[in-house]
Amino acid sequence: MAKNQNAPMYTGEIAKQEFDPTQEYSIENQEIVFSPEQNAIWADLFSGVHQPYLLEHLCREYLTGLGFLQLDPRQIPSVAHLNQQITPRSGWRIERTAVRYTLADDWYQKFARRIFLITDYLRTREQMEFTPEPDMFHDIFGHLPFLTQEFYARIEDKFAPAYLKATSEEREVIKRLAWYSTEFGLVVQENRFKVFGAGIISSRSELTHTIMEFYRLGRDNVIDYSREIFPQLQENFARHKADVLRVIQGVNGLHQKGQMSSAEQGWSVVSALCAQLQIPRAGYLGGEVILAPFELETIALIPKTVYAFNPMFFVCESLEKMDATLESYLRPIAQRA
């Protein structure tokens, strides 16, 4: 059967969108008026995540920053309000953009000037639980609580200088490092897995999906939470690394074919790949996602996942270790002549 030419390509990149540069916001016209329905969607998104049983799984830095940011749960904040809370604390500033999904090159040009872009697009009612396209709720609720703090500004400061001097191959690695740290990273705090990535935090379905795996690992006796959990994760990963790499190869194959996933096929690809590759679905590999230690070698192998739940999450022993790992790769590139 011939392939439907109008069928979406479920790869790791959102399809290029036509954009009229004359429609972009200037410094003078950053503020816009949102409709009652947009504010109602914001309020429902906010309350959907701002629940004690979910917040307890978010890292402490996010919760601290959420307090600093002073978001109104009932309406979308102005750019002026966001800058009042962020710029004095971290030196970064916020600008609104009409581009719904910024190309990485454009994004890092702004990053180099310590400007964080937020889109004017808000997801629809049909995308409340999961949206493949970053919207203003993701930008504001997911990222900006962190940007009130210097530690996060230092992490973000590492990416642009390296990206702008990197080769095309290195840029792909840098995009993956950003994806699996600031967008979809996990960290160990108080001997528990905690959510760090803004992409997880701002997507209620992906957040609950991830938390379920924390509990499953305990239920299936993969992780004993009465002992140090990070060495246990490392041991499990090392024991099953050959199968994990086979799953990663399968994910790459789906990306290359434009068949990553779709709402109709099911958001998660891990169970389907394990069945296809005849990998037993038990113990460490018995969930809908795979948790792995945060290491450059493995992150460089797996592409960004936009149109599906992420099949893997990378766990850092601490945010200090994440900072050091990113530094080890990014600084030598940034220091090139």
CATH classification at residue 164? 1.10.800.10
Question: What pLDDT does 62 receive?
Answer: 98
Per-residue pLDDT, 2:
36
So what's the pLDDT on residue 197?
Answer: 97
Domain membership of residue 66 (yes or no) is yes
Q: Which residues contact 264 (CB under 8 A, 6 or more apart)?
A: none
Say what the pLDDT of residue 234 is.
98
The reply to whether 136 and 261 lie within a common domain is: no
| 178 within some domain | no
pLDDT averaged per 10 residues, the chain (length 337): 45 64 85 96 97 97 98 98 98 90 76 93 89 90 97 94 95 94 97 97 92 97 98 98 96 81 61 91 94 97 84 96 96 94
The verdict on residue 176 lying in a domain is no
Alpha carbon distance 49, 156 (integer Å) = 24
Return the structure tokens found at 97: 């953009």
Going edge to edge, which strands form the sheet with 185-189? 192-195, 185-189, 312-316, 290-293
Do 233 and 313 belong together in one domain?
A: yes
Report the C-alpha gap between 282 and 80 in whole angstroms.
Answer: 50
pLDDT value, residue 228: 98
Same structural domain, 137 and 209:
no
279 in a domain, yes or no? yes
Is 198 a member of any domain?
A: no
* Among candidate residues 147, 169, 191, the one where a domain is terminated: 169
Q: Please tell me whether residues 161 and 209 are part of one structural domain.
A: no
149 lies in the same domain as 245 = no
For 66, the enclosing helix (H) or strand (E) is: helix 60-69
Q: What is the C-alpha to C-alpha distance for residues 78 and 83, in angstroms, rounded to an integer?
A: 9
Is residue 116, in this structure, part of any structural domain at all? yes
Q: Is 76 helix (H, G, I), strand (E, B) or coil?
A: coil
Q: Are residues 160 and 107 in the same domain?
A: yes
Q: Are residues 149 and 42 in the same domain?
A: yes
In sign, the C-alpha dihedral spanning 177, 181, 185, 191 is: positive
Q: Are residues 165 and 208 in the same domain?
A: no
Q: How many domains does the chain have?
A: 2
The pLDDT of residue 309 is 81
Neighbour-count burial of 85, counting CB atoms closer than 10 A to its CB (0-12 exposed, 13-18 middle, 19+ buried): buried
d(CA 156, CA 10): 28
- Give the residues across from 312 on adjacent strands: 290
As given in the structure block, the two tokens for residue 38 are 């947009």
The angle at the Cα of 240, spanning 236 to 246, to the nearest 5 degrees, equals 145
Q: What is the domain range of residue 59?
A: 21-169
Does residue 99 form part of some domain?
A: yes
What pLDDT does 115 receive?
Answer: 95
Examine residue 261 and state whether it is found in any structural domain, yes or no: yes
Mark whether 30 and 165 lie in a shared domain. Answer: yes
Other CB atoms within 10 A of residue 11 CB: 19
